[in-house]
Amino acid sequence: METTATTLRWAIVFLVTHQDVQKKMQKEIDDVVGRDRRPTMADKMDLPYSTAVVLEMQRKANIVSFNVPRYTTVDTEIGGHSIPAHTTIFPQITSVLDGPDAYADPDRFDPSRFLESDGKTFNKTAMDHFVPFSLGKRVCAGESLARMELFIILLSLVQRYSFDVPKGGSLPDMTPIFGATLTPHPYECKVTLRI
């Protein structure tokens, strides 16, 4: 739950700093779901832009950038480098999530990178490199639950509220605080009920 909560804290930072993304997401939710009911997982296929926003928020937040240490069980070669058996390694998810081969201009927040030009089909390269939960036998056990929670909670929030910088305030600091997870600095946010 701590990782989901941290990702949601980052999500609000991204919404505050990218008002155009927030408005486009709200329009899609209004058009598909409306405001009389809450979004559900059944809506996901009809909400490609909102889904792409959730993916981009996870990619950019990258809250567990230093993965759990592993060790090689056999002599291994990766990228021309020999790694002996029983060597401790630290998978670097950041190198994949910020990799320019999969994500052009990876420092820029751009949900459309997950979509093809039709705005509905997901970009295979971007999706294949999307590994915030790690992969293989050591993938996060809570991945399915976390994906569902992030989608439903974030879309429910965006459906009902708008997030902005308070009057006289400043944009949130985008530099993470390093710890077990990368967390945003404390920030102020104006939350307005959408009428």
Is 189 among the annotated ligand-binding positions?
no
What distances in angstroms separate CA 59 from CA 31, 93, 179, 190, one per listed residue? 26, 10, 18, 25
Q: Any alpha helices (H) in the chain, and if so which ranges?
A: 2-17, 19-32, 48-61, 93-97, 124-128, 143-160
With b meaning 16 or more CB within 10 Å and e meaning fewer, what string describes 42-78? ebbeebbbbbbbbbbbbbbbbbbbebeeeeeeeeeee
Q: Taking the CB of residue 151, how many other CB atoms lie within 10 A of it?
A: 21
Phi, psi for residue 139 in degrees, rounded to 5 = -60, 150
> Tokens at residue 38, please?
């809450």
| Separation of alpha carbons 195 and 187, rounded Å | 25
3-class SS shares of the chain: helix, strand, coil, % to 5: 45, 10, 45
Residue with token string 């021309």? 80
- List binding-site positions: 140
Binding residues for heme, as ranges, are: 140
